[in-house]
């Protein structure tokens, strides 16, 4: 009996820790199911027709805005190099302003283009619509590149700043990332987004991790108890 008393305190601690680990695993399982539901909603929105821009848009909705393009104005955002059969090609995201009927000007990221300096595209005149998802305005950070305003090159998608540099007023606090079909290979046209952004779903790995820790704890305590009980 005295031998078993040696295991009382370690056993209580192991018992409590075991159920903590199981609880964490169950919590991650519920989080996984919840996240899978969100991803299913995003997929449904992706294949469905766009909805009119809501008052509180999120980046996981495919939305449309109605108005007309502001001709002759464009900037390049980011600095990306794409591979091609001819070798690496420099370029960036072509951003042009869109005057909505609702009032604000929305900066539209039309997609990656093989340009070193922004060149505005010839867009349809008159009433039209743009389709995509929302990208909230950025403020930059310590490691963001320095914007080259004189040449229309930006490394931070700060819509208010970019709009002001374009001479625009009443600019929306977000940009629209255009969605649409890809142009033919080698085309100078922008490459719009093909999918809505998705939040990461790593809950299955976390779930296995916590349950795995609980299983390891059981084996560790078994070998620990066997060793203590063999001691004189």
Q: What is the 3-state secondary structure (H, E, C) of 125-169?
A: CCCEEEEEEEEECCCCCCCCCCCEHHHCEECCCCHHHHHHHCCCC
Position 146 scores a pLDDT of 83
CB 211 within 8 A of CB 22: yes
Task: Give dist(CA 117, CA 208) in Å, integer.
Answer: 49
Which residue in the block uniquely carries the two structure tokens 């108005």?
A: 67
Buried b vs exposed e over 172-189: b needs ≥16 C-beta within 10 Å? bebbbbbbeeeeeeeeee
Q: What is the pLDDT of residue 98?
A: 96
Report the pLDDT value the prediction gives residue 133, as an integer from 0 to 100: 95
pLDDT of residue 76: 93
- pLDDT for position 130: 95
Q: Are residues 180 and 133 in contact, defined by beta-carbon separation less than 8 angstroms?
A: no
pLDDT profile of the chain (232 residues), mean per 10: 76 94 96 94 91 88 94 87 69 93 93 89 90 90 80 92 93 94 84 91 94 95 86 72
Residue 1: its pLDDT value, please? 55
At 195 the pLDDT is 92
DSSP 43: H
Taking a C-beta distance cutoff of 8 angstroms, is the pair 89, 113 a contact? Answer: no
Are 117 and 82 spatial neighbours (Cβ–Cβ below 8 Å)? no
pLDDT at 187: 79
> Which residues, including other chains, have CB under 8 Å from residue 169's CB and lie 6 or more apart?
105, 163
Q: Give the span between the Cα atoms of 115 and 110, in whole angstroms.
A: 13
* CA-based radius of gyration for the chain: 27
125-158 b/e (C-beta count within 10 Å ≥ 16 → b): eeeeebbbbbbebbeeeeeeeebeeeebbbbbbb
């Amino acid at each position: 009996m005295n031998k078993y008393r040696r295991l009382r305190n370690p056993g209580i601690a192991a018992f409590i820790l075991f159920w903590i680990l199981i609880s964490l695993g169950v919590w991650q399982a519920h989080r996984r199911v919840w996240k899978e539901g969100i991803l299913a909603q995003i997929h449904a929105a992706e294949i469905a027709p766009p909805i009119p821009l809501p008052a509180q848009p999120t980046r996981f909705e495919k939305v449309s805005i109605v108005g007309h393009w502001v001709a002759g104005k464009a900037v390049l955002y980011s600095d990306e190099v794409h591979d091609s059969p001819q070798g690496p090609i420099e370029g960036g995201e072509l951003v042009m302003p869109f005057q909505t009927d609702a009032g604000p000007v929305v900066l539209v990221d039309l997609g990656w283009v093989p340009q070193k300096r922004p060149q505005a595209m010839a867009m349809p005149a008159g009433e039209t619509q743009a389709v995509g998802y929302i990208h909230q305005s950025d403020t930059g950070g310590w490691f963001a590149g320095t914007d080259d305003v004189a040449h229309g090159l930006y490394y931070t998608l700060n819509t208010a700043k970019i709009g002001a540099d374009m001479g625009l007023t009443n600019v929306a606090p977000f940009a629209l990332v255009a969605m649409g079909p890809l142009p033919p290979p080698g085309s100078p046209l922008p490459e719009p987004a093909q999918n809505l952004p998705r939040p990461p779903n790593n809950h299955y790995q976390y779930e296995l991790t916590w349950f795995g820790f609980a299983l390891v704890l059981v084996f560790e305590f078994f070998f620990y108890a066997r060793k203590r009980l063999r001691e004189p």
